[in-house]
Amino acid sequence: MTMNEDFVAAVRRATLSTRASNVAEATRVIQDALAGHAISGRQDGTIPEIVAPPARFGPTPFPVDPDADLVEPADDSAKVSARLDLSPTSNRLRKPLGETVRILREGRFATNALASLPGMGLTGSTGLATLPALPEGAQFQTRSFTCMAGTRSYRLYIPASAPNRPRGLVVMLHGCKQNPDDFAAGTGMNAVAEANSLLVAYPGQTGADNASSCWNWFRPGDQGRDSGEPSIIAGITREIMSEFGIERRQVFVAGLSAGGAMAAVMGETYPDIYAGVGIHSGLACGSANDVMSAFAAMRGDAGLPGHTCSRTANGASNPIRTVVFHGAGDRTVHPSNADRIVAAAAPHWADSTVRKESGRGAGGRTYTRTVLVDPAELPVVEHWLVDGAGHAWSGGQAAGSYTDPKGPDASSEMVRFFLSGQT
């Protein structure tokens, strides 16, 4: 074979290994090709068959949504080939070999084809968000924050109802393929904040830091206190707290999908900053530490045994107050992940009370709401399981992407839960 033919063969073999869930072998083959080593194969020069690992015993894993752009089924060779531009019949513009080599050398093969996948692809397509007109006196500012871990822009909603002395702050973390404007439009959180005299901050992930603008909830470097993306989000939060004179009891963080998983990280690693966490269609902190464990966690397999996020010794004596929303029909992040979040957030005292109720949202979807209250009747954990809902913000607005207008209003219920704990 020529050098070019050798490299193409290596990429094809790496693709087969990826389809067989053998990421280590795929990485080795690509590294050997970049180093100019010959492809190991049979003596006749053919490439050996890549054998998939044997089926696991136990329950059938929950399927990842085949329509999700970021979570492609491992056995869909057409999608894998299209992503790597290998399919000879693909309608995509194929990249020249030189550019493919450069992408692989820069590590973008791992970022784009593997690492971005478990960002939890939200189904649908993202359009330009249409934000409602601001109330007179309200502001929706564009800002930026920089620290040792990097720079992120963010949007800040300042309510007309309390521009100088707001009642609190909600930090909202968007999902994959979203941005702050889109998330603000879809959740309708600005309107809820206006009614409750709250600030809302929307940090924005960049395409340079994740190919699909997902928060990197599954990377160890982005799961610890004072490092990676958590330190940037915490820095944004502290900056706003200082400017407006807001106390810890008035500060909350919430997110959707990958943003929900990152909100769980923030609550675990910064209990001295946040008084409450809202997790919509997300996962518990420490559920994964790489791409493959992220896929397993999303399918509903148990999280990593004994793995926890990094936090300091000055953390709260009990888990942070937490409200969870999840669709019972979510085929991207299995609803059992909500159960794990609730279990991790349950307080340690023995005399707490669990209350369960059923209802119907304004849009028609039924739901089950489970509430754990403390001895003073204060709700410390809420779990909303929405019947028939998929991987989208419950009760959201059609102006934004990835919303389910039929469900109960997650934005209003999260704010109600947050403010109920203020003392």
Quick one: 305 and 370 in the same domain? yes
127, part of any domain: no
Tokens of 420: 């109920």
61, part of any domain: no
3-state SS, residue 347:
coil
Quick one: 169 and 92 in the same domain? no
Return the pLDDT at 368: 97
Partners of 172 in the β-ladder: 254
Q: Looking at residue 294, which CATH number applies to its domain? A: 3.40.50.1820
Quick one: 92 and 164 in the same domain? no
The answer on pLDDT for 303 being more than 90 is no
60, part of any domain: no
Quick one: 175 and 82 in the same domain? no
CA-closest candidate to residue 258, choices 120, 116, 112: 120
The answer on pLDDT for 223 being more than 50 is yes
Contact by Cβ (8 Å): 340, 325:
no
Return the pLDDT at 33: 55
Q: Of all helices (H) and strands (E), which one includes residue 29?
A: helix 23-34
Grade residue 353 by pLDDT with cuts at 50, 70 and 90: confident
Query: Which domain covers residue 106, as residue numbers?
Result: 3-55+72-119
CA-closest candidate to residue 236, choices 262, 257, 197: 262
93, part of any domain: yes
Compute CA distances 111 → 121, 204, 227, 296, 336, whole Å: 14, 18, 20, 18, 27
Work out the burial of residue 21: count CB atoms within 10 Å of its CB; fewer than 13 is exposed, 13-18 middle, 19 or more buried. Answer: middle
Within 10 angstroms of residue 243's Cβ, the number of other Cβ atoms is 10
Quick one: 273 and 306 in the same domain? yes
Number of structural domains, the chain? Answer: 2
43, part of any domain: yes
Q: What strands lie across the sheet with 198-203, from one edge to the other?
A: 139-147, 150-158, 198-203, 168-173, 251-256, 276-280, 321-327, 379-386, 366-373, 353-360
pTM for this prediction: 0.73
Rounded-to-integer distance, Cα 155 and Cα 143, Å = 6
Return the pLDDT at 30: 58
Grade residue 36 by pLDDT with cuts at 50, 70 and 90: low
Averaged pLDDT score across all residues of the chain = 77
Return the pLDDT at 125: 40
Helix, strand, coil in percent for the chain, rounding step 5: 30, 20, 50
362, part of any domain: yes
Quick one: 248 and 371 in the same domain? yes
Grade residue 61 by pLDDT with cuts at 50, 70 and 90: very low
Quick one: 258 and 391 in the same domain? yes
Quick one: 258 and 388 in the same domain? yes
Residue with the bigger pLDDT between 18 and 408: it is: 408
405, part of any domain: yes
CA-closest candidate to residue 217, choices 152, 175, 178, 262: 262
Q: Of all helices (H) and strands (E), which one includes residue 146?
A: strand 139-147
Could you give the residue ranges of the DSSP H alpha helices within 245-300? 258-269, 291-299
Quick one: 114 and 187 in the same domain? no
Return the pLDDT at 133: 87
Residue with the bigger pLDDT between 121 and 205: it is: 205
Rounded-to-integer distance, Cα 196 and Cα 411, Å = 12
Quick one: 289 and 190 in the same domain? yes
The answer on pLDDT for 216 being more than 90 is yes
Cβ-proximal residues to 153 (8 Å cutoff; 6+ apart), any chain = 142, 143, 144, 145, 180, 203, 204
Per-residue pLDDT tens for 130-146? 788 899 999 999 999 99
Quick one: 214 and 82 in the same domain? no
Final residue before a domain boundary, out of 64, 84, 119: 119
Per-residue pLDDT tens for 97-129? 454 344 434 433 333 333 334 445 454 344 467
Return the pLDDT at 166: 96
Quick one: 81 and 173 in the same domain? no
Rounded-to-integer distance, Cα 209 and Cα 219, Å = 12
128, part of any domain: no
Rounded-to-integer distance, Cα 289 and Cα 295, Å = 11
The answer on pLDDT for 71 being more than 50 is no
